[in-house]
Amino acid sequence: MDYTEVLQQIAHELRPVIGQGQVASYIPELASVSPHHFGMAVVTIAGDIHTVGDAREAFSIQSISKLFTLVMALQLEGEKVWTRVGREPSGTPFNSLIQLEAENGKPRNPFINPGALVCTDILCTRYAVPENAVVEFLRPLSGNRNLHYNRAVAASERRTAHRNAAMAHLMKAFGNLSNDVDDVLDAYCRHCAIEMNCVELARAVVFLAHGGTHPEGQGDILNTSMAKRLNALMLTCGTYDAAGDFAFRVGLPAKSGVGGGIVAVMPGECGICVWSPALEPSGNSLAGSLALERFTTLTGRSIF
Ligand code: GLU
């Protein structure tokens, strides 16, 4: 399939909507990003790369990092992870405290903030500098040896991370956080501030389209069964409180972040990443969601 042609058509069709929506502003450093970017990349299992627009411009991956910290937590702890975090859609915003209190400090899934904080806690137990471990994990996967996190973005989020701090303290009170709350928050804000571009992110998720094995020689990242589970979680919980509608419209496992990036997986075929910073109200990139919807429509392919 000529994905380049498909991507060009999508970029052309979406021109009128790029910039519609709101750039995330609750993290002050992110508020200054132009809403007018649009980039998209497809990386196939065979290693072919197809791009359009700003596909090689780095952006803040934010919650997409939750996918990678979950992979690392699963590598370290296997099924034990599920004793501390569930795998049901939450039906609430990603930073809601109410459900966490009602459910005794066990987050519904690893992609809402408290669930991701549990994964970061697992990394804090294992690594002296957990954010560096995430960066080191992503360098070979993404093909970018210079991958790093943006210190200004991390500091900006850390200064304003009151809700995340409240969630972390609540989980600590329920006995579901092993490390010091401040250490977990520091590591969390830093891995959220990792910067990557669409090509790097599409490449970093292609193992999920390939039964958990990295096609370019990085070996088994997850076993087949865990890769299946991760894809299932992305489909049901990966796009905030709009995951049902997203599955309906797009039909691919995906994970989004408030930086405007969305990664998606076409099993047996390719990793995909789209970036456009302006978000719709549930927190997903507005143009990015539409682009993925057009992608599965134009190619006639999805997981269904
Ligand atoms: N670092 C962000 C936060 O915790 C990530 C949010 C997101 O991308 O969903 O609020």
CB of residue 63 inside a 6 A radius of ligand 1:
yes
Tokens linked to 280: 């719709």
The DSSP line for 163-206 is HHHHHHHHHHHTT---S-HHHHHHHHHHHHTEEE-HHHHHHHTG
What pLDDT does residue 94 have? 81
Q: What percent of the chain has pLDDT over 90?
A: 94
- Position 93 confidence tier, pLDDT thresholds 50, 70, 90: confident
Distance CA 231, CA 274 (A): 17
The reported pLDDT for the residue numbered 132 is: 98
Burial 90-107 (b: 16+ CB within 10 A, else e): beebbbbeebbeeeebbb
**Distance between Cα 285 and ligand 1 center (Å):** 13
Residue 113 in contact with ligand 1 by CB distance below 6 A: yes
Mean pLDDT of 270-288: 97
Structure token pair of residue 146: 């210079």
Active site residues: 63, 66, 188, 240, 258
Determine if ligand 1 sits within 6 Å of the CB of residue 258: yes
Domains of the chain, with CATH numbers?
A: 3-60+195-299 (3.40.710.10), 63-192 (3.40.710.10)
pLDDT at 299 over 80: yes
Nearest CA to ligand 1 atom 7: 63
Q: Does residue 62's CB lie within 6 angstroms of at least one atom of ligand 1?
A: yes
Give residue 191 CA to ligand 1 midpoint distance, Å. 10
Average pLDDT, stretch 287-301? 98
Confidence of residue 128 (pLDDT cuts 50, 70, 90): very high
Mean pLDDT of 70-81: 97
3-state SS, residue 65: helix
Confidence of residue 119 (pLDDT cuts 50, 70, 90): very high
pTM over 0.85: yes
Share of the chain above pLDDT 70, in %: 100
Q: Provide mean pLDDT across the span 284-299.
A: 98
Arithmetic mean of pLDDT, 93-103? 90
Considering the chain, what is the average pLDDT of its residues? 96
DSSP lists the bridge partners of residue 264 as 254, 272
Tell me which of 60, 96, 113 to substitute to probe ligand 1's pocket, judged by most ligand atoms within 8 Å of the beta carbon.
Answer: 113
Report the pLDDT value the prediction gives residue 95, as an integer from 0 to 100. 84
pLDDT of residue 13: 98
Task: Kindly report, residue by residue over 169-225, the tens digit of the pLDDT.
Answer: 999 999 999 999 999 999 999 999 999 999 999 999 999 999 999 988 778 999 999
Pick from 185, 177, 135: which is nearest to 160 by CA?
185
pLDDT, average across residues 239-263: 97
* Helix/strand/coil percent split, the chain, to 5: 50, 15, 35
Q: How far is the CA of 257 from the centre of ligand 1 (A)?
A: 7
In 3D space, the residue among 32, 34, 42, 35 whose CA is nearest the CA of residue 10 turns out to be 42
pLDDT of residue 92: 85
What pLDDT shows up at residue 1? 81
Say yes or no: CB of residue 157 within 6 Å of ligand 1. yes
Task: Map residue 86 onto helix, strand or coil.
Answer: coil
As a whole number, mean pLDDT of residues 241-256 equals 97
- Residue 251, pLDDT score: 98
Q: Is the CB of 192 under 6 A from ligand 1?
A: yes
- Give per-residue pLDDT as tens, 161-171: 999 999 999 99
